[in-house]
Structure 1
């Protein structure tokens, strides 16, 4: 801890000093009232009172009721500070398994050309949509069996969050195109990372998820962009049912039907082809 940090600590009461030292030791920049009570041994009401006083002194920033950020000492007093939104997403998930997903994962994997202003995460715990620290958070509910294809993403040298790997990110985009910006945006990510993606893993994930729309859309796009041959795609074809689904569920049910993949092609092939040149 530097001299400036020591100066701030010495001017605090013993409980507040204990709290700030311990949070810094744990690298916990985002914390809740339960964390405060656990560290200080105070009752929940006393813990809230302690944090309120720290907030008045500019030592912490309130993100939402019960959730706070430490203000780094180097920013000075009376400074509003919001930590990485990815860390906040982790805190909102609580102790439940989670991972950053959909449009957020597309952005972190650099699979998009447009910025995303909503933080998406998947979790086995139901978390309501909310705005925290100026960021909009949306959680997608998954089952325990759907928690796969996950990796660490380091925020800095000490902190990380969980994120879907590239293949799982594509699969989630195919399942919920609305959370990415449409099927064309998913196709862009697929094409941009075509030399990095593991096609076998993509297919394995699609089969593991077991969602017919994902299998159809993945098979069609892999074939359209010539990323897999007919023999490779056979396991996906063998799982199709007789019903037809739209290629992009966000667009009207119009366009030709493709019997091979049981899809209504409501996105023109020319639009998908233009991605090759973007």
Structure 2
């Protein structure tokens, strides 16, 4: 009966199993379900992700010490409401060829540990307000439905926080890739920037467009019209001693190439 129950649970449940889901599916109390999951873990049929959460161990696996098959599905189960964003979304949409070693998750949660490692998979968690869940696409991984920021929203998130791109060099690459390869997505940049209302986004985007893509006249003008008071750094993680006055942005010497007036 126990193995039959596990088979039923794996058929009807998402990729990450919890006591609540097991109790609902198997018609038992939460306590009984938690004990049953722990017993299956001890038997080597499940692997513990963290307290109260398990993933199935493939039949062909010689050990329960397994890596996660799909970190996206686990992120959705562990950190919802959330979406996959930043460099991970950029990889998904082909905006970069850079390989990053962790999954970037944008979540409404405020976890104490923002860099958890679950079954050998590294996650980096960033908090975002539920009201800012715009510009998302639905994707399926196995039987799990999840969200990922669309290409334009991915770039806007990175403009708001360049660490989500892995730094300004990668951000410059991804802006160029979007404008070159996905012009329909590029048209959404101004829309998302306006809805999110983050002043530094218009400053960074305007500066980069005028410097690297001066043909984007309409979008440059939109950025100019939405400049807020105060100054921002092009990349807050780097020292910056050059001021691009027109865009109210401090620029590292390595990025202070000539900008057309």
Give the TM-score, by structure 1 length: 0.82
How much is the aligned-residue C-alpha RMSD, in angstroms? 2.4
Say whether the 8 Å CA contact 1:121–1:140 is kept in structure 2.
yes
Alpha-carbon shift at residue 247 of structure 1 (Å): 1.0
Question: Which of these residues, 6, 9, 30, is aligned with residue 22 of structure 1?
Answer: 9
How far 1:155 moved relative to its partner? Answer: 2.6
User: Which of 164, 181, 187 does residue 179 from structure 1 map onto?
Assistant: 164
Quick check: 1:258 aligned with 2:244? yes
For residues 28-61 of structure 1, the C-alpha deviation after alignment (integer angstroms, 9 at most, x for no partner) is 2221121112122222332222112211222111
Separation in structure 1 between the aligned mates of residue 227 and residue 58 of structure 2, nearest angstrom: 54
Looking at structure 2, the residues matched to 18 and 248 of structure 1 have their Cα atoms a distance apart, in angstroms, of 53
Task: Please give the secondary structure, in 1, of the residue aligned with 2:246.
Answer: coil
| Counterpart-to-counterpart distance in 2, 1:121 and 1:166 | 15
Q: Name which of 166, 171, 174 aligns with 1:189.
A: 174
**Per-residue Cα deviation, 1:63-119 (whole angstroms, up to 9, x for no partner):** 11111101233x25644432311111001124x3x1101121122223223321222
TM-fit CA distance, 1:227: 5.8
Aligned counterpart, 1:199 = 186
DSSP-derived class of the 1:268 partner: helix
Question: Which whole-Å CA distance do the structure 1 matches of 2:177 and 2:85 have between them?
Answer: 18
Give the secondary-structure state (helix, strand or coil) at the position aligned to 2:100: coil
Aligned equivalents of 2:31, 2:216: Cα separation in 1: 63
Contact 2:17 2:55 in 1 (8 A): yes
Secondary structure of the equivalent of 1:260? helix
Query: Please, which of 221, 226, 232 is the counterpart of residue 234 of structure 1?
Result: 221
Q: Which structure is larger by alpha-carbon Rg, 1 or 2?
A: 1
Whether the 8 Å CA contact 1:57–1:77 is kept in 2: the answer is: no
**Matched residue, 2:230:** 243
Structure 1 unmatched runs, 5+: 1-13, 274-278
Mapped partners of 2:24, 2:64: distance in 1? 26
